Amino acid sequence: MVFNIVENTFYQYLDSEGVLHESMFLPLSVISIALGILFLLFFILQKIWCLFQKK
Domain map (residue ranges) of the chain: 2-8+23-54
pLDDT at res. 12: 72
Grouping H, G, I as helix, E, B as strand and the rest as coil, residue 18 is coil
pLDDT at res. 25: 63
Q: State whether the Cα torsion 35-37-38-40 is positive or negative.
A: positive
Per-residue pLDDT reduced to its tens digit, 5-53:
776 677 777 788 888 777 766 677 788 889 999 999 999 999 999 998 8
pLDDT at res. 42: 97
pLDDT at res. 54: 81
